[in-house]
């Protein structure tokens, strides 16, 4: 006998059993009833794959009390959060969708995340799934905690990571607090990451789809909050998410992923500053000895390791190696000058204690993890790489891993160069 799970929820599973029941002898009937009972007790159910390669992914619980647990799903109006809501709804959760109203308005034909169009898209998906949808206004929090930090860091010559701050202060800060206040047991999002309760405790893990791994942005999650967070897409690939959305007829199935920062329209950083009456002045581009080589149009347009846009004529290419905000200077050098043997990290959030001395570290989202040694120095970490790394950038996150496990992370304060 072969059982095929169609992935449309427990109701369809039970309906399929009822259709087959008249054709089953008593031994098989008892077996199938036990299997059915097992699936009806599950806390999470999703389908991975398609066609003849269907794998049921289940996180089993010991009691029936989890079947009616209330989950608030953060919905940005995109396909990922829509499928996350679909999977949880099909798994038998009591699901409500929520969209954060962040006061973001964007021109053009392509809607951004958390705009009015995105809120409407999220509401339409909730209507399709027969579940409530609410909005929460976090506009002032977005301005004060994320955008203000973004502008301040750039004006200080550092390169911030607003997605990390959004997760820290909004999604898994204010929104998680709001979910608990409203009586929800869990908060779910469409992030590509995993959370597991292992013998050593709750752990944040990398997802199955390495190309969409978002664990780098999630290191600020507090260890004590992990049991209350769900990542339904952690075992799926982006292609499988898209396929699930299309097969289910979701309104957002063909919506394109946003590639830029949600509050930076069309990648125009100057607009963020001009809208807030913040000025960035042109200044000198100098080499490491202070020799003037050219002019820059404002320090906010440059980051460590940048090669393009310097407008310097030279036999060998120059790279940005430092930004001096006090002197309003961009310092450039050769390729070797960009490399760093280590870094100092602060503003730490460590998810495991004691913290190991040998780990892997990512210094940018798209960078591969690099082997390094770590020494704790008060509230800082001194990190030394096995091999020098390019473009260690103050303001960016450094996130530590042991294979698939996220050990924690912090903010790069300075690069260590020999």
pLDDT at 300: 94
Same domain (yes/no): 312, 362? no
User: Domain residues for 290?
Assistant: 280-333
pLDDT at 24: 52
Same domain (yes/no): 328, 366? no
Same domain (yes/no): 24, 168? no
pLDDT at 324: 97
Task: State pLDDT tens for residues 347-397.
Answer: 999 999 999 999 999 999 989 999 999 999 999 999 999 999 999 999 999
Quickly count helices (H) and strands (E) in the chain: 11, 19
Task: State pLDDT tens for residues 321-355.
Answer: 999 999 999 999 999 999 999 999 999 999 999 99
pLDDT at 57: 37
Long-range contacts of 246-251 (CB under 8 A, 24+ apart): 248/83, 248/86, 249/128, 250/79, 250/82, 250/83, 250/86, 250/125, 250/128, 251/82, 251/121, 251/124, 251/125, 251/128
Same domain (yes/no): 328, 343? no
What is the bridge-based pairing of β-strands 133-137 and 94-101?
parallel
Omega before 354 within 30 of 0, i.e. cis: yes
Torsions phi, psi for 160 (to 5 deg): -80, 170
Please list the helix, strand and coil fractions of the chain in percent, rounded to the nearest 5, in that order. 35, 30, 40
In a domain, 257, yes or no: yes
Q: What angle do CA 204, 346, 394 make, to 5 degrees?
A: 100
Q: Indicate the range of 9-13, 127-131, 256-260 predicted with least confidence.
A: 9-13
In a domain, 51, yes or no: yes
pLDDT at 31: 53
CATH number at residue 319: 2.30.30.280
Same domain (yes/no): 202, 296? no
Residues with a known catalytic role? 166, 262
Same domain (yes/no): 300, 161? no
Dihedral (Cα; 88, 89, 93, 94), 10-degree rounding = 130
pLDDT at 27: 52
pLDDT at 137: 93
Same domain (yes/no): 248, 117? yes
In a domain, 80, yes or no: yes
Q: Indicate the range of 12-16, 144-148, 191-195, 231-235 predicted with least confidence.
A: 12-16
Decide if pLDDT at 23 tops 80. no
Same domain (yes/no): 405, 314? no
pLDDT at 50: 30
Task: State pLDDT tens for residues 24-78.
Answer: 554 554 555 445 444 443 433 333 333 222 233 334 333 335 554 899 999 999 9
Q: What SS3 state is found at 187?
A: strand
Direct distance between the N- and C-terminal alpha carbons of the chain, in angstroms, rounded to an integer: 66
Same domain (yes/no): 114, 199? yes
Same domain (yes/no): 185, 135? yes
In a domain, 225, yes or no: yes
Same domain (yes/no): 69, 159? yes
CB 160 within 8 A of CB 395: yes
In a domain, 271, yes or no: no
Domain final residue, candidates 288, 304, 333: 333
When pLDDT is averaged across residues 147-173 and rounded to a whole number, the result is 96
Domain count across the chain = 4
In a domain, 96, yes or no: yes
Cα separation of 109 and 121, whole Å?
Answer: 15
Same domain (yes/no): 327, 351? no
Torsions phi, psi for 106 (to 5 deg): -130, 140
Task: State pLDDT tens for residues 207-247.
Answer: 999 999 999 999 999 999 999 999 999 999 999 999 999 99
Position 7 confidence tier, pLDDT thresholds 50, 70, 90 = very low
Domain final residue, candidates 217, 237, 266: 266
Task: State pLDDT tens for residues 111-142.
Answer: 444 456 889 999 999 999 999 999 999 999 99
Residue 64: CA atoms inside 13 Å, Cβ hemisphere, count?
2
pTM of the predicted model over 0.85? no
pLDDT at 268: 82
């Amino acid at each position: 006998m072969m059982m095929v799970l169609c992935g449309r929820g427990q109701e369809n599973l039970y309906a399929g059993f009822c259709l087959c029941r008249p054709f089953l002898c008593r031994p098989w009937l008892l077996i199938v009833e036990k299997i059915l009972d097992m699936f009806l007790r599950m806390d999470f159910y999703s389908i991975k794959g398609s066609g003849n390669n269907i794998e049921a992914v289940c996180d089993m619980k010991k009691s029936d009390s989890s079947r009616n647990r209330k989950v608030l799903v953060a919905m940005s109006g995109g396909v990922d959060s829509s499928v996350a809501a679909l999977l949880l709804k099909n798994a038998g959760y009591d699901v409500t969708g929520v969209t954060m109203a962040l006061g973001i308005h964007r021109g053009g034909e392509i809607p951004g995340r958390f705009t009015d169009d995105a809120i409407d898209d999220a509401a339409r998906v909730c209507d399709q799934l027969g579940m409530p949808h609410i909005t929460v206004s976090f506009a002032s929090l977005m301005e004060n905690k994320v955008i203000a930090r973004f502008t301040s860091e750039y004006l200080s010559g550092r390169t911030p990571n607003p997605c990390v701050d959004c997760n820290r202060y909004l999604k898994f800060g204010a929104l998680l607090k709001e979910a608990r206040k409203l009586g929800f047991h869990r908060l779910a999002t469409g992030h590509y990451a995993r959370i597991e309760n292992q013998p050593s405790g709750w752990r944040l893990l990398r997802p199955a789809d390495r190309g969409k791994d978002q664990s780098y942005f999630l290191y600020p999650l507090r260890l004590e909050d992990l049991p209350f967070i769900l990542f339904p897409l952690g075992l799926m690939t982006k292609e499988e998410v898209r396929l699930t959305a299309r097969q289910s007829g979701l309104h957002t199935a063909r919506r394109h992923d946003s590639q830029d920062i949600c509050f930076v329209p069309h990648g125009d950083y100057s607009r963020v500053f001009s809208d807030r009456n913040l000025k960035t002045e042109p200044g000198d581009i100098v080499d490491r000895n202070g020799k003037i080589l050219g002019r820059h149009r404002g320090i906010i347009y440059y980051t460590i390791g940048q090669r393009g846009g310097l407008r310097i004529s030279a036999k060998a290419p120059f790279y940005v190696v430092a930004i001096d905000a006090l002197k309003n200077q961009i310092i450039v050098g050769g390729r070797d000058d960009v490399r760093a043997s280590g870094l100092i990290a602060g503003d730490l959030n460590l998810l495991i204690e004691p913290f190991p001395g040998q780990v892997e570290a990512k210094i940018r989202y798209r960078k591969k993890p690099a082997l390094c040694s770590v020494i704790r120095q008060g509230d800082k970490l001194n990190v030394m790489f096995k091999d020098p790394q390019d473009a260690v950038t103050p303001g960016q996150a450094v996130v530590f891993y042991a294979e698939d496990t996220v050990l924690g992370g912090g903010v790069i304060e300075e690069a260590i160069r020999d």
